[in-house]
Structure 1
Amino acid sequence: MASPFDIEDIYPDDTDHPLRLPRRQVGTSTQGVAVTLLADYTLRTRAALPSAAVVALLTETGVTTAGARTAISRLARRGVLDGSRRGRHSSYRLSRAAAANLSAGGHRILAPTDTTWDGCWTIVAFSLPQERGAQRRALRGQLRWCGYAPLYDGLWISPYDLTPPAQAQLAQLTPGAVTVFRARQTALASTGSRAPIDAWDVDAIGRHYEQFLRRWTPLLPQVEAGRVDGAAAVRARTEVMDTYRRFSTLDPQLPLELLPPGWGRRPARELFSAIYDGLAEPAQRHVRAVVARFTDGTQPGIQAHTTADLLIGVRDDASGP
């Protein structure tokens, strides 16, 4: 049975690729928080912020100064941030590749998926010998990223069609070792037969939605009343994004027909949008104020985007999509 805790990374950590975004993990990653923070206010403009300002903002979220500096340095080495220096002062901004990936990811976590299901399953069957372990891990990671889960060893399923980009990825990873087909399940009379939905730990995914709703519902009245401001607004907005975006890997967006009544996907999405958008203005004011302390009073290109912007597709204003 596939557990959401088995998922290592929303972005494959491919050392041959120049861009390596932070791993998704249980708990909070300093590098992940740094990426979220920069993306929330500079994704559209790719503005360069003084490293001292980024460190100051990160320390307000509970990160130590040393931890913040280490995270920035590592993100630069991974190709997520571009660095520049003027005298003794350094600045960083999102790399173009990171901004493109984050923009696509922002759309992915918010795009509505409650569509009608045709009752068919896509089955990916593969056979790779044990000595090709690295190839097996890469294939399994790509299938998880596409929302598939193992019904049996070497047989992975999804209720959705395999998209052309995913087809190209699988063909590249395992030439000649994969077969893909789409079919309906035939239920057996035996009580021991395994249903396709059993490939996922639906109860565990549901508990994550319940935890999210319990954690953030009490804050919503304060946000709507305008009582969350300053560093608290930035901290809450960063945390709610860093938490909610994990659902893009935890939840394979299974059709509602296969899920228990009262599934938390839609309520969680609505709660996230209300808090994230409701805190955009006060959080933007605070980020501008902090950055201004290190830039002679200016706030270069700091713009908080909303969930509507993410759905449309946040663009780099300087160079198009």
Structure 2
Amino acid sequence: MTSPFEIEEIFPDDGEHQVRLPRRQSGNSPQGMAVTLLADYTLRTREWLPSAAIVALLAESGVSPAGARTAISRLARRGVLEGSRQGRHSSYRLSRSAAGNLSAGGSWIVTSTATARAWDECWTIVAFSLPQQHGAQRRALRAQLRWLGYAPLYDGLWISPYELVPAARRQLADLGPGAVTVFRGRQVELDAVIARDPLAAWDIAAVAGQYETFLGRWRLLLPEIAAGRVDGAAAVRARTEVMDTFRRFPVLDPQLPLRLLPPDWLRVPAREVFAAVYDGLAGTAERHVRAVVAPFAGDSRPGIRAHTTADLLAGLDVAGGTDDSRAPESVTRGR
């Protein structure tokens, strides 16, 4: 099992949203933190934030000013952010493509951990073969399959207990003739010595350990949240960290049927703790972000709005176009 997962696997590109989201790194990634911050408070509105305000917010999480400015610049070059300049002052917002990816990804995170699907005891098998010179295409396919809940049982043979969804069909259709075969059927029981259990494609013990670590870390904060003892800066840091951690679980634990998993599987308790932290700190964190941005923006920035897990579950409509009331002298999209 690959860990930590790249953010492309968590919020993948599709045919309509070609944007290169930053790779996840060990520890805190300034680019990943910047994306999470902007998504958590400006995803619906794509509000412009002064670069100095973004730097100040990242500084509260331990990112140096130089590191923050480098992260912003790289995100603009990747097409994740749009930049504007008015005199000597620059502002940034999520690009429409990035916002679309992040909105879909957020909905997927809470949906896939909130429901349990029925299972007919059949497996979907995707077998593919791509020439060595098509390495980038092979990596993109593997990332997309993992995002869709598939895992490699053998090299070039990926499995899932669920039907092939339209998104996967479209991805596979782009591979070209003779590149892939898809089957669906029941496992034939063989001698235990030679048989490979389909569950071996996932490291179930490692996933359980990740859940236990997550719950041990975040349950400790719940009494503090309930008592209102988490201040603004700490609320923003906690929401950023809990989202950055929890969003990996649908990839680590791709909603396998409960009958295949150990008793007392911790998917539901982990989701409940995530929602308690993320939702419980939303108001405090939003007020703090507004307070940090205000000295740099010169106005209240009504587009700064924290969303909750219920909002993500319902789906967030992403604003499009340019807000003419804040029209910059120039708008650029990093390439």
Q: TM-score, normalised by structure 2?
A: 0.89
Q: C-alpha separation between the residues in 1 aligned to 2:216 and 2:294? A: 36
Task: State the alpha-carbon separation in 1 of the partners of residues 44 and 134 from structure 2.
Answer: 42
1:74 and 2:77 correspond: no
> What is the CA distance between 1:293 and its match in structure 2?
1.1
| Matches for 1:104-123 after TM superposition, within 5 Å | 104-111=104-111, 112-123=114-125
Query: Residue 191 of structure 2 aligns with which residue?
Result: 189
* Equivalence for 1:275: 277
- Indicate if the aligned counterparts of 1:18 and 1:78 stay in contact, CA closer than 8 A: no
Deviations 1:251-308 (A, max 9, x none): 2221111111121111111000011000001101111111111122423411111110
Q: Which amino acid aligns with 1:96?
A: R
Matched, 1:141 2:143: yes
**Aligned partners of 1:40 and 1:192: how far apart in 2?**
49
Q: Which amino acid aligns with 1:276?
A: Y
Letter in 2 for 1:55: V
Structure-to-structure mapping, 1:84-99, within 5 angstroms: 84-99=84-99
Q: Per-residue deviation at 1:23? A: 1.4
Residue 205 of structure 2: which of 192, 197, 203 is its match?
Answer: 203
2:3 maps to amino acid: F
Identity of aligned residues (%): 70
**Higher mean Cα deviation, 203-212 or 146-155?**
146-155
- Distance of aligned partners of 1:310 and 1:7 in 2 relative to their CA distance in 1, 3 Å threshold: same
Change (3 A) 1:316 1:146: closer
**AA aligned opposite 1:169:** Q
* Counterpart residue number, 2:254: 252
- C-alpha distance in structure 2 between counterparts of 1:117 and 1:150, whole Å: 20
CA contact (8 A) 2:152 2:201 kept: yes
In the aligned structure 1, how far is the partner of 2:180 from the partner of 2:22? 29
Indicate the residue corresponding to 1:295 in structure 2.
297
Instruction: Give CA deviations for 1:10-65 in whole Å, capped at 9, x if unaligned.
Output: 24589xx7511111333221111001001111111111011101100000011111
Shift of 1:248: 2.7
1:159 aligned residue (158, 161, 164): 161
Residue 296 of structure 2 aligns to a residue whose secondary structure is coil
Q: Which amino acid aligns with 1:222?
A: E
The C-alpha deviation readout for 1:154-198, integer Å capped at 9, x for no partner, is 221100111112111012024321110110111113433111111
Q: What is the count of residue pairs matched by the alignment?
A: 316
What residue is the counterpart of 1:35 in the other structure? 35
Instruction: State how far apart, in whole Å, the 1-side matches of 2:237 and 2:4 are.
Output: 28
Are 1:4 and 1:205, in contact at CA under 8 Å, matched by a contact in 2? no
Q: Structure 1 unaligned segments of length 5 or more: list them.
A: none
TM-score (norm 1): 0.93
| Structure 1 residue ranges (4+ consecutive) displaced by more than 6 angstroms after TM superposition | none
Q: CA deviation at 1:71?
A: 0.5
Q: Bigger shift: 114-123 or 171-180?
A: 171-180
- Judging changes above 3 Å, is the alpha-carbon distance between structure 1 residues 6 and 308 closer, same or farther for their aligned structure 2 residues? closer
Determine which of 310, 313, 316 is the counterpart of 1:314: 316
Partner of 1:266: 268
**Using the alignment, how far apart are the partners of 1:258 and 1:266 within structure 2?**
16
Cα 1:218–1:136 shift into 2, 3 Å: same
Separation (CA, whole Å) in 1 of partners of 2:106 and 2:133:
37
Compute the displacement of 1:318 (Å): 6.1
- Over residues 171-230 of structure 1, what are the superposed CA-to-partner deviations in whole Å (9 max), with x where a residue is unaligned? 202432111011011111343311111111111111111110011000011011111121
The letter for the 1-side match of 2:316 is: V
- How far did 1:86 drift? 1.0
Q: What's the CA shift for 1:134?
A: 3.7
CA–CA distance in structure 1, aligned partners of residues 318 and 138 of structure 2: 36
Q: For structure 2, which runs of at least 5 residues remain unmatched after alignment?
A: 322-335
1:75-129 superposed Cα distances (whole Å, 9 cap, x missing partner): 1111111111111111111111111111100000000231221111001112334
